Chain A
């Protein structure tokens, strides 16, 4: 009861002290506001980048393994993969046979070609020769029309499914369905348009700028140099839980397909979404850490400003402290009074900072990338601003609390 009274009394004194020096309080809080805005914006921006990255790769299912000649992510010597054999069409067929009944295998071959419709030309579009299983291993589905069917692949039909960006660029508002386009030098009929995936603005691959054609037609029209061209294989695991075991199975079968002896190293790579995300997190983790380090310096500088002002505040009110002590105030209540003062300033700064940061995040979200504020970040911001207040207030408050009442009363 008595402690409660002491608390509310200290709080009231702190409040009136801040109110008495509004300009000073505002400037002090401004330092904290800027610091909090900087830190939160860094976090939300990193968050937004991550969302964009995830979105741009969302069509790569998390339960799908890609067998390729080289790994997607390679931090070391790229040249060590240069002399690997290509993965041939033959290899992909053997692998599909070995894994039949356990995983869904989809071979793919791609090339960069010009796409033409009427007078419109789109240069260097990624043309992917694939099968009807593409929609199973990837999560992008057709928005209009249909995807490739087994008979398209079987009978080497000259049909194409357009990525949303390609359809948009060539046809605008017109319906592309059943229109004849030129892929390289060959005529294809458009049978479908894929839904938009988005998120490619930060260097990720643009899966919307792509044309899907049957793999058999691809080989017929563009050729694969007698099967020597390099293929990729996407394999959907039976389930997410079995992915790790399934990976070993795929490696084993692929080694058999490639005729590797037990002592030889793999001459192919298994890629999956996880490796990509892992590599991204490694890089972005460092960037975020540096960003937070640099921005938290400004928060720290703000905290130093609070400490400085609190010292001034204690000095200015030395006489008041002396009087309070003389009529029976304990060290604790003096300490609390100043701690409240610094914490309240920082908390106000923190709250205003959060509001401003939310505004900045909103703008980033509207014009740049899908960034969002999470409750976690808000909670961290509030805790951080209170801690800054307590930490920067403790030394001045302690100094005030320890004052000798006689000396304090004498102070001029």
Chain B
């Protein structure tokens, strides 16, 4: 008896009991769909977050006093409070001594400013960056038209500003902003450039930010923030090549440790991060959610598997006589076993395909309502199919063995 015959036989058994097969399928479909839907939804959020967090270029890392990202403990925050600020001098030391570094940018950030042009005011939600000409390159946030800050602006502490796209849209709906005088917090600045729009699903500050030279910033706002803490500089370091990233981090660490007077054995009193290190941190925090979702989803699939086993047992009992006849005509145990096992596996795989498709659709529903990107986690889809086959084999095995073991004489007797 060929393998094809076994397959055809299993198929016809499934077809002949449409209602029963459908109900069994429903269980598998729901089980698979729930796992895939949750995993898809998580991967949608994850993809979006990863994009959000890939602000720094692949050969850039950032040094700052405060721990990066939103996933650190209060302990870390409290600890950082006692550290001295990262200063502009620290950044200069990196420029002077580091050999693996292309260029070094500095950023002083502050929030909640009002910009004004010709009587038109923005809300008090504009972020100001007192930065350097390296800002666009290191943050992959480029100038769309006009020009970037120049070294000249830096030396002169020039009152010039590169404005974010949303700011430009708000203040200059009909005119070219370049060369116009705006007021930031009441003080006059000349607009020299406009940043390219950088869409951000979580409403990041990019389109609402404005870049001015760090000198102009410290001239106006001083080196102490409104809470009385010394302002700390975010230093963005652009490394000569992505391969040198780790080496460069180590080099810069040592320069800063010397510069900040740390003794051997003392802990670093600054933080550094790359886009990747932030993504890793995020993945660690979502790991628990993933495991929980997986366990809960698996439960439904196990219940579906039990349903399959139950129905297969019924099916074996119903077809006892048929098994007896086949055996007396020379069918081997293996043939009978494979026939029933195949029936279970086919059922599970049909359910699996429908379930995976349903799950992918459900998981992406969120993306239709938000600006999140559609995500199709191929890995999970394959996993769903493999898992289904596994469920089919493990829950179909017992009934199949039971059928294979039947004594042909007794089976023929069975009424």
Task: List A contacts of B211 (CB < 8 A).
Answer: none
Contacts A294-B38, A302-B303 given; does A79 touch B112 at CB 8 Å: yes
Among B20-28, B50-58, B166-174, B363-371, the one that faces the other chain is B20-28
From A31, A35, A38, residue with most partner B Cβ within 10 Å: A31
Q: 21 A-B pairs, CB-CB below 8 angstroms?
A: A28-B310, A31-B307, A34-B306, A77-B125, A79-B205, A80-B124, A82-B111, A84-B226, A86-B228, A124-B75, A124-B78, A126-B78, A229-B228, A297-B300, A298-B296, A298-B300, A298-B303, A300-B300, A301-B27, A302-B307, A309-B311
Interface membership of A398, Cβ < 8 A: no
Interface membership of B324, Cβ < 8 A: no
Size bracket, chain A contacts: 35 or more
Are B111 and A112 closer than 8 Å at their CB atoms? no
The digit string for B159-177, where 1 denotes a CB below 8 A from any CB of A, is 0000000000000000000
Are B125 and A311 closer than 8 Å at their CB atoms? no
Are A24 and B79 closer than 8 Å at their CB atoms? no
The digit string for A60-85, where 1 denotes a CB below 8 A from any CB of B, is 00000000000000000101101111
Are A294 and B293 closer than 8 Å at their CB atoms? yes
Are B111 and A298 closer than 8 Å at their CB atoms? no
CA distance A228 to B299 in the complex (A): 57
CA distance A31 to B314 in the complex (A): 16
Selected contact of A297 from candidates B34, B75, B310, CB within 8 Å = B34
Task: List B contacts of A225 (CB < 8 A).
Answer: 228
CA distance A205 to B75 in the complex (A): 11
Are B24 and A308 closer than 8 Å at their CB atoms? yes
Are B127 and A79 closer than 8 Å at their CB atoms? yes
Give the interface of A toward B (CB within 8 A).
23-24, 27-28, 30-31, 34-35, 38, 42, 77, 79-80, 82-86, 112, 123-124, 126, 205, 225, 228-230, 291, 294-295, 297-298, 300-302, 304-305, 307-309, 311-312
Interface membership of B297, Cβ < 8 A: yes
Interface membership of B227, Cβ < 8 A: yes
Interface membership of B82, Cβ < 8 A: yes
- B24 CB to closest chain A CB (Å) equals 6
Are B296 and A294 closer than 8 Å at their CB atoms? yes
Contacts A86-B227, A309-B314 given; does A31 touch B306 at CB 8 Å: yes
8 A Cβ contacts from B65-94 to A? 74-75, 78-79, 81-82
**A310 nearest in chain B by CB position:** B23
**B309 nearest in chain A by CB position:** A27
CA distance A295 to B30 in the complex (A): 11
The digit string for B287-316, where 1 denotes a CB below 8 A from any CB of A, is 000000100110110111011011101100
Contacts A112-B82, A311-B23 given; does A301 touch B300 at CB 8 Å: yes
Are A27 and B300 closer than 8 Å at their CB atoms? no
Are B313 and A27 closer than 8 Å at their CB atoms? yes
Task: List B contacts of A309 (CB < 8 A).
Answer: 310-311, 314
Are B299 and A295 closer than 8 Å at their CB atoms? yes
Contacts A27-B313, A291-B296, A305-B303 given; does A82 touch B112 at CB 8 Å: yes
Contacts A80-B125, A124-B78, A295-B296 given; does A305 touch B307 at CB 8 Å: yes
From A34, A228, A308, residue with most partner B Cβ within 10 Å: A308
Interface membership of B31, Cβ < 8 A: yes
CA distance A301 to B23 in the complex (A): 9
Are B24 and A82 closer than 8 Å at their CB atoms? no
CA distance A225 to B78 in the complex (A): 18
Are A38 and B296 closer than 8 Å at their CB atoms? yes
The digit string for B256-297, where 1 denotes a CB below 8 A from any CB of A, is 000000000000000000000000000000000000010011
CA distance A28 to B309 in the complex (A): 10
Are B27 and A24 closer than 8 Å at their CB atoms? no
CA distance A223 to B24 in the complex (A): 72
Are B112 and A23 closer than 8 Å at their CB atoms? no
Are B23 and A300 closer than 8 Å at their CB atoms? no
Interface membership of B110, Cβ < 8 A: yes
**Main SS of the interface on chain A?**
helix
Task: List A contacts of B79 (CB < 8 A).
Answer: 112, 123-124
Are A308 and B20 closer than 8 Å at their CB atoms? yes
Selected contact of A23 from candidates B30, B111, B311, B313, CB within 8 Å = B313
Task: List A contacts of B19 (CB < 8 A).
Answer: 311
CA distance A294 to B300 in the complex (A): 8
Selected contact of B303 from candidates A24, A34, A82, A228, CB within 8 Å = A34
- B14 CB to closest chain A CB (Å) equals 14
- A301 CB to closest chain B CB (Å) equals 4
Selected contact of B228 from candidates A228, A297, A304, CB within 8 Å = A228
Task: List A contacts of B75 (CB < 8 A).
Answer: 124
Selected contact of B26 from candidates A38, A298, A304, CB within 8 Å = A304
Are A30 and B306 closer than 8 Å at their CB atoms? yes
Task: List B contacts of A80 (CB < 8 A).
Answer: 111-112, 124-125
- B82 CB to closest chain A CB (Å) equals 7
CA distance A307 to B296 in the complex (A): 23
Are A27 and B296 closer than 8 Å at their CB atoms? no
**A205 nearest in chain B by CB position:** B74
CA distance A74 to B97 in the complex (A): 43
Are B228 and A312 closer than 8 Å at their CB atoms? no
| Further pairs besides A31-B303, A31-B307: 6, Cβ < 8 Å | A35-B303, A83-B226, A112-B78, A205-B74, A297-B300, A304-B27
Question: Which 8 pairs between the two chains have the least Cβ-Cβ distance?
Answer: A305-B307, A79-B111, A112-B78, A298-B300, A308-B23, A27-B310, A301-B27, A294-B296
Are A305 and B78 closer than 8 Å at their CB atoms? no
- A204 CB to closest chain B CB (Å) equals 11
Selected contact of A294 from candidates B23, B124, B297, B304, CB within 8 Å = B297
- A73 CB to closest chain B CB (Å) equals 15
CA distance A27 to B30 in the complex (A): 19
Task: List A contacts of B226 (CB < 8 A).
Answer: 82-85
CA distance A305 to B28 in the complex (A): 11
**B73 nearest in chain A by CB position:** A203
Selected contact of A305 from candidates B74, B111, B306, CB within 8 Å = B306
**A228 nearest in chain B by CB position:** B228
CA distance A77 to B293 in the complex (A): 30
Are B23 and A34 closer than 8 Å at their CB atoms? no
Task: List A contacts of B307 (CB < 8 A).
Answer: 31, 301-302, 304-305, 308
- A190 CB to closest chain B CB (Å) equals 22
Are B112 and A83 closer than 8 Å at their CB atoms? yes
CA distance A270 to B293 in the complex (A): 37
**B78 nearest in chain A by CB position:** A112
Task: List B contacts of A123 (CB < 8 A).
Answer: 79
CA distance A205 to B24 in the complex (A): 49
- B165 CB to closest chain A CB (Å) equals 19
Are B227 and A230 closer than 8 Å at their CB atoms? yes
CA distance A83 to B27 in the complex (A): 56
Are A305 and B112 closer than 8 Å at their CB atoms? no
Are A294 and B34 closer than 8 Å at their CB atoms? yes
**A114 nearest in chain B by CB position:** B82
- B104 CB to closest chain A CB (Å) equals 26
CA distance A85 to B74 in the complex (A): 22
Are A301 and B303 closer than 8 Å at their CB atoms? yes
Are B314 and A312 closer than 8 Å at their CB atoms? yes
- A81 CB to closest chain B CB (Å) equals 8
- A241 CB to closest chain B CB (Å) equals 35
Task: List A contacts of B304 (CB < 8 A).
Answer: 301, 305
Task: List B contacts of A23 (CB < 8 A).
Answer: 313
- B222 CB to closest chain A CB (Å) equals 14
From A205, A294, A295, residue with most partner B Cβ within 10 Å: A294
